Amino acid sequence: MSPLVLWIESSCDETGVGIVSGTTLLADAVASSVPEQVRFGGVVPEIASRAHVEAMVPTLQRACADAGITLRDVDAIAVTAGPGLAGALVVGVAAAKGLALALDKPLYGVNHLSAHVAVDQLQHGPLPEGCVALLASGGHSSILRVADVTADVEPLGATIDDAAGEAFDKVARMLGLGFPGGPAIDLAARDGDASAIAFPRGLTGPRDSKYDYSFSGLKTAVKRWLAANPGASVPDVAASFQEAVADVLSAKAVAACVDVGGDTLILGGGVAANSRLRALTAERCEKAGLQLRVPRPGLCTDNGAMVAALGAEMVARGRQPSGWLLGADSSLPVVEPLVG
Ligand code: KG4
Ligand code: ZN
């Protein structure tokens, strides 16, 4: 049987603990502090950290019960070491270190961003060598050349201001659609006309950086448009905004993949759950002769399984475990899939 890897994820507002055997998920227990955060319209770091402390042991117990194992059966521990909320990450890293020490098992501190890419393995099998990934989440929007998701990830471009998910959340708030904004805009846009308003496409001029993104101008454009058109149709604004984001995200990612000679594009991160981004990228990949891999929406948004996927791959590839000095790094760079 493949080694049993127990993972812990606590980078934001969900405490995730699970168990994987190779690429087979045996348990995926999640406790969320979202209900406590909703009234603030966003994640309050201190509330998230305290909720992690309270949820950690019960969630661990639930994961073991779901997988039908005891902690002694575990072969390795993987934990999200960053990036994320510092206080929230510390809780997961401390729990993982304590477990690894007590059980005398190797500890792998993994990168949340690489995990968003690695998760696709759970659905579509091993990643091909030399692929390009579009990572679009609440905090990041990057195009990555992924030679080896456990060791060799190189950014080709990234947002110079807001992340795509952040733009969705902020525009949803302007439209009174609630938090998190991405799914709300996705839903509202279904009844709207995506060509109703020609919102700007950031950094798409001939002299602009080819693989970088900018969403702050778009956000401001929506704000101005709403101020000038108080009776605007919410579905039309949602659909037109969503079209502008999906258009630039997919155009640049497909272009990057073609330019570096990759044959596979992977989408990852919460925004990859967006229905329009998925459809438009599929169309463009087909035209460009690229293979597109997109995990199901539940694997795109933050989930523990992604940490498991990357942790299990670290074990399978015989990577050196992290040392006992492993700490949480709230701004862990994307080029570091495993913290040494
Ligand atoms: O990857 P993720 O779950 O957490 C981070 O690591 O940030 O991404 C969360 C972001 C949020 O900004 C949320 O609004 C966005 O992903 N999101 C979506 C959709 N579902 C989640 N954005 C657009 N369309 C969606 N369907
Ligand atoms: Zn994420």
Per-residue pLDDT for the chain (340 aa), expressed as one digit of tens each? 788 999 999 998 889 998 988 878 899 898 887 777 777 877 888 888 999 999 999 999 999 999 999 999 999 999 999 999 999 999 999 999 999 999 999 999 999 999 999 999 989 999 998 899 999 999 999 999 999 999 999 999 999 999 999 999 999 999 999 888 999 999 999 999 999 999 999 999 999 999 999 999 999 999 999 999 999 999 999 999 999 999 999 999 999 999 999 999 999 999 999 999 999 999 999 999 999 999 999 999 988 889 989 999 999 999 999 989 999 999 999 999 999 8
Q: How many angstroms is it from 70 CA to the middle of ligand 2?
A: 29
Atom of ligand 1 nearest to the CA of 84: 6
C-beta of 269 in contact with ligand 1 (< 6 A): yes
Q: How many angstroms is it from 267 CA to the middle of ligand 1?
A: 12
Residue type, 183: P
Q: At what angle do helices 181-189 and 234-259 cross, to 10 degrees?
A: 110
Choose one of 169, 219, 271 to mutate for the ligand 1 pocket test, by most ligand atoms within 8 angstroms of C-beta: 271
Choose one of 11, 137, 171, 307 to mutate for the ligand 1 pocket test, by most ligand atoms within 8 angstroms of C-beta: 137
Report pTM. 0.93
Q: At what angle do helices 181-189 and 275-288 cross, to 10 degrees?
A: 70
Q: What is the pLDDT of residue 112?
A: 95
In our burial notation (b when 16+ CB lie closer than 10 A, e otherwise), range 86-107 reads bbbbbbbbbbbbebbeebebbb
Residue 136 vs residues 4, 152, 153, 340: alpha-carbon distances, Å: 30, 19, 15, 26
- Give the ligand whose atoms come closest to the C-alpha of residue 179: 1
C-beta of 215 in contact with ligand 1 (< 6 A): no
C-beta of 14 in contact with ligand 1 (< 6 A): no
Q: What is the pLDDT of residue 33?
A: 75
For residue 197, give every residue at least 6 positions away whose Cβ sits within 8 Å of its Cβ, in sequence order, or none: 225, 236, 237, 240
C-beta of 329 in contact with ligand 1 (< 6 A): no
C-beta of 188 in contact with ligand 1 (< 6 A): no
What tokens appear for 259 in the block? 């330019």
How many angstroms separate the CA atoms of 297 and 241, rounded?
20
